[in-house]
Structure 1
Amino acid sequence: MKQTREKMNKGAVLGIIAVIVSVMLLASMPMATAKLYGDANGDGVIDEDDITHVEQIIAGEKTENELADVNQDGEIDVLDIAYIELIILGTAHSIGGTLVVAVYQSSWTPKHFEEAFGITPYGTNIYEPLVSLDNDMNLQPWLAKSWERMDDDTWRFYLREDVKFHDGTPFNAKAAKFSFERMIDSIPWTARLAIDRITAVDDYTIDITNKRPFAMFPAYAAHSWTVMASQSVEDGEPCGTGPFRFEKLDKVKDELTVVKNREYRGKRPYLDKVIFRNIPDAQTRVLALEAGEVDLIQEVQRSEVSILEANPDITVSRALMPGVCILGFNRQNEALSDIRVRKAICHGIDKESIVENVLSGVGQPAKTIISPIISWSAHDELEGHPYNTAKTKELLSDAGWKDTDGDGYLDKGGKTLELNLIFDARSDPDNEAMAEAIQGQLRDVGIKVDLERVESMQTPIKEGKWDMFIGSIGVYCGDASMILHAWFHSEGFYGVGVKQLFPISDYVEKLLEEGQATADETVYSQKFREVQRIAIDEEVVLDPIFYPVRVCAAKNSVKGFRPHPINGWSITLENTYIAS
């Protein structure tokens, strides 16, 4: 749905002063600059004149300059002429340049220093994990070249032998053991890794023993926080193995600068330098991009996407995320304890309309709790509960709900079918508009919905002070079964779990545990799909609304960038370059 900025979302006025101040700050920032390797004569373009200029340098007729060494091998020779020719032909990428990225959260806080090796690993390209995730959510060997399960509790990782940290020290089993032990001591999240002990078997082999059988451990360890760091981080400077290395951190400007790791073992990045500039306000990030203050922005608000897509100078890129937004039902409520009422509500919600009109088309209507980007999602297999108001009215009538007093709302036994819906607008600025849309759609079928905005979902959910809620959950590692565990296991969501939050058969919990206990993809995929079928189609414990989409935008000159589905990995720059 096309939009203009004249249509301001609710609450936008409240942030206008912050936006104005941010714009004033942006005006004082320097424009992004780039070294254009191959532009030997320094005229701002790479063309045949640069070939002539390099020939003259080789012949001793011109003075050597940095930009003439286009392939960055330390020599200016015929190889540089050949590379310039390839750039002109469009078969080689420009090397060099500085990319300015506007991020939505600071790369540094005292918490990050204590917990994350001096800097948040999110997208900075300084650190790397043992196991990585590609843009299609597939596990990839990274600092570990392979791994195997030794027994129910132990995983063995075989490490690469050609890796060095940025300080020149080798990456080996000792370094991996240090990194995991430091994470366990300082990052609460790593408790989910259930690590009991780490053993260096030899210089390049480690065993990680879990506290319980944990077949999903390699996938769980593919997380943007579980990265490997040199022991020199104890001295206060971030030091990893990644394609970029730490240069400086300006805490006043809230800018992190990283530079190309010229000793990187694999394909070196095209860019020389990346500046991560924290601009928390989403509208200010867009203004900075449009003004040329930054080259790339992450976390574009949905309402801005169509505007940016209409800008001929900007490229918008999207990635389906491994998360979901749901409508949860409290089955302690007398009306909602009837599956016919829950099904009726599901059929009464027009998800296509919500995605198009509330989310500005940035999202995908959902049928299950697992996004289709995950290989074992049951999205294509489930019947779901498609929008059908006739079905809604039929189900409610069968359940005994009639409008006996003509007020437009259904009632039974003198009691109106009235439900409260809680939501947290801080986690997603569109939650309030989505709650209002659901309220209106259910009003049309005779259900009265009262909206309640809460500061935190945890307290009302734990206390049971809700009938329905809008909630989201995402995946931050390679194990999407964590979503099933969070919602459907007795030790899951907010410590409440299935027994209180979503009463469901013990068989589902058994299926989930069995799936998480095996490394056989065929077996766990079947069990996880069955969990989805029972929870969504059979018992209707919740209604999936939409799968979120991550959106980034960049100048047209920024090429090769593709946003990662997971937030923590969203700025991966190994293939990004600035076109000449």
Structure 2
Amino acid sequence: MPNRSHILGGALFALVATASSLAVAQGADVKIAVPVEPANIDGCNTTVNGINTIVKENIVETLTVLDPNDSKVLPRLATKWDDQGNGTWRISLREGVTFHDGKPFNADAVVKAITRMQSTGVTCLDRTKIANVKLTATAVDEKTVDIHADPAQVLMPVFLSFMGIVGPDTSTTELSRAPVGTGPFQFVSWDGDGVKLKRNDKYWGKKPEVENATYVFRGESALRAAMVKTGEADIAFAIAPQDADDPKMDKSFLNGETTRIRLIMQPPLDDIRIRQALNLGFDRQALVGTVLSDKVVPATQFILPKINGYNPDLKVWPFDVDKAAALVAEAKAAGVPVDKEIRLVGRTNFFPNEPEVLEAIQQMWQAIGLNVKVEMMESAEWLKLVNKPYPADRSAMMIQEMHDNNNGDAAFTMYFRYHSKGQQSEMNNSAVDSLIDKAMSETGEHRTKDFQEANRIIADEIIPAVPQYHMVSQMRVGPRVNYEPNGLSTVQFELSDIALSK
């Protein structure tokens, strides 16, 4: 299987070396190389890969934040939150905060931001994290907001960490490419040179060491790595394992992401024998330490073991090519159209070596008698496939997905991935719906057990996906800066955490 990054690596390194005159500015300016240019950087899309690393807690802040180590809820723009009962939480807001445009941060601004996030005027993907919950925000006084959830939510403090508070003048009909927030950095420009931010010297909190930050978009892992090596960039995201060859610069970390291949259950994927065969015919261990890092962990479900509701009794599917081929042959004999072409759709620059991963899996599945074709797709087109409303004439396909849940609870995965009303669900199972609905209103052991049982039914009886891996990221950090990645670094990369080398 060709290694594209190695083939291009030498040429790309030479290209960057020749451009050493473009080296990053000295002093307190940093340059960050990331894989994909987002379509927008709106503050109501702080949970979206590629947007969050630029916007979240840098430009636009949330009401609470989560501790990257244990998901404990910590204050940000909210300083206190109290359950008033009947679904209403009273939120106390931080004093002495203003938006970058000089507008006051107050209860009215919070009400506007939450109303905008929930409206249909703009496509705010952060609301998918809140699933089927309707939020109503009401100003109590200048620095107090009541947020009512219908149905009531015991996890409201965590919900607050998804609520990017944008400036009150933000458009209610268009997504922003120039967000206004309260964060330690403010937006400057977005052009051919990337996205530029500058330090907000009126910030309410601790003054960051970084003064100016530029995000540049480079699709090849080898190029991003070479940029840091030659001093053209300070930090590079998503370095492929084969390019992470400098132990002094390269940092490996569990990133909270889990991958799977979603199955669109049209013929032949509507036959459970085929879905079983896909899982049995995938040699998960073969990709560990080869095209993927040797630190990735084969997954049994779409949440991490540390998340409440994870079912520890589920086992990784064994690799059994003979049994997989026999299931395909049995389905074919029963009239299932196993020869029909099945699209295996990947998203460009989703994670390092994704095309190689999909090509390897394609070969495994062809070996058991299925007709699989890999197709790579840009992010905007891929998003149309994975979000409702789905096209009425969808044919059988499989979609590479990656999902982060560092929020401590299965609720932030289960509803929108598996409930019949979920934004990204392929399922319509009354037993699973009932368990999810029940768990969402429970606490303690009952909540855990109902989520675990829902995960058991999904994994054993429905099989709507091919679980893959709990993922690891590689980040390259240059000598001019000090930055230690954590479990949230790929979804909440705070420039304030960067220190300049002395």
Same fold per superposition (TM over 0.5) = yes
Tell me how far 1:142 sits from its aligned partner.
1.9
Percentage of identical aligned residues: 20
Tell me how far 1:358 sits from its aligned partner.
3.3
CA distance in 2, matches of 1:523, 1:433: 42
Instruction: Call closer, same or farther: CA 1:210–1:101 in 2, change over 3 Å.
Output: same
Name 1:318's counterpart in structure 2.
Answer: 253
Tell me how far 1:373 sits from its aligned partner.
4.8
Q: Work out whether residues 277 and 328 of structure 2, in 8 Å CA contact, stay in contact via their aligned partners in 1.
A: no
Quick one: which of 387, 394, 402 aligns to 2:319? 387
Name 1:299's counterpart in structure 2.
Answer: 238
Quick one: which of 199, 202, 206 aligns to 2:145? 206
Name 1:412's counterpart in structure 2.
Answer: 333
Q: Work out whether residues 169 and 230 of structure 1, in 8 Å CA contact, stay in contact via their aligned partners in 2.
A: yes
What amino acid sits opposite 2:419 in the alignment? H
2:495 alignment partner, SS class: coil
Kindly indicate whether residue 423 of structure 2 is the aligned counterpart of residue 423 of structure 1. no
Name 2:174's counterpart in structure 1.
Answer: none
2:497 alignment partner, SS class: coil
Tell me how far 1:169 sits from its aligned partner.
6.2
Aligned ranges for residues 245-264 of structure 1 at < 5 Å? Answer: 245-246=185-186, 248-249=188-189, 251-259=191-199, 261=201, 264=204
CA distance in 2, matches of 1:272, 1:532: 44
Gap regions ≥5 residues in structure 1: 35-96, 403-409
CA distance in 1, matches of 2:422, 2:300: 21
Tell me how far 1:498 sits from its aligned partner.
1.2
CA distance in 2, matches of 1:400, 1:386: 17
1:282-306 per-position Cα deviation (integer Å, ceiling 9, x unaligned): 3432221111011111232x2xx34
Instruction: Call closer, same or farther: CA 1:331–1:536 in 2, change over 3 Å.
Output: farther
Instruction: Call closer, same or farther: CA 1:191–1:538 in 2, change over 3 Å.
Output: closer
1:323 alignment partner, SS class: strand
CA distance in 2, matches of 1:348, 1:26: 46
Q: Work out whether residues 32 and 295 of structure 1, in 8 Å CA contact, stay in contact via their aligned partners in 2.
A: no
RMSD of aligned residue pairs (Cα, Å): 4.1
2:416 alignment partner, SS class: helix
Kindly indicate whether residue 305 of structure 2 is the aligned counterpart of residue 366 of structure 1. no
Worse overlay, 157-166 or 520-529: 157-166
Name 1:347's counterpart in structure 2.
Answer: 280
CA distance in 1, matches of 2:212, 2:254: 22
Q: Work out whether residues 43 and 165 of structure 2, in 8 Å CA contact, stay in contact via their aligned partners in 1.
A: no
Q: Work out whether residues 325 and 547 of structure 1, in 8 Å CA contact, stay in contact via their aligned partners in 2.
A: no
Kindly indicate whether residue 492 of structure 2 is the aligned counterpart of residue 492 of structure 1. no
Quick one: which of 156, 162, 165 aligns to 1:228? 165
Instruction: Call closer, same or farther: CA 1:567–1:195 in 2, change over 3 Å.
Output: farther
Q: Work out whether residues 42 and 178 of structure 2, in 8 Å CA contact, stay in contact via their aligned partners in 1.
A: no
What amino acid sits opposite 1:574 in the alignment? S
1:546 alignment partner, SS class: strand
Instruction: Call closer, same or farther: CA 1:262–1:487 in 2, change over 3 Å.
Output: closer
Kindly indicate whether residue 395 of structure 2 is the aligned counterpart of residue 510 of structure 1. no
The structure with more radius of gyration: 1
Tell me how far 1:238 sits from its aligned partner.
5.4
CA distance in 2, matches of 1:383, 1:350: 14
1:490 alignment partner, SS class: coil
1:363-391 per-position Cα deviation (integer Å, ceiling 9, x unaligned): 3211112133534322x331242224465
What amino acid sits opposite 1:387 in the alignment? F
1:178-229 per-position Cα deviation (integer Å, ceiling 9, x unaligned): 3334444564225545545321112322112235444444433422xx3224
Q: Work out whether residues 535 and 542 of structure 1, in 8 Å CA contact, stay in contact via their aligned partners in 2.
A: no
What amino acid sits opposite 1:296 in the alignment? I
How many residues are aligned here? 475
Instruction: Call closer, same or farther: CA 1:33–1:545 in 2, change over 3 Å.
Output: same
Kindly indicate whether residue 111 of structure 2 is the aligned counterpart of residue 173 of structure 1. no
What amino acid sits opposite 1:371 in the alignment? L
Kindly indicate whether residue 206 of structure 2 is the aligned counterpart of residue 276 of structure 1. no
Higher RCO, Cα 8 Å, sep 6+: 2
Gap regions ≥5 residues in structure 2: 172-176
1:448 alignment partner, SS class: coil
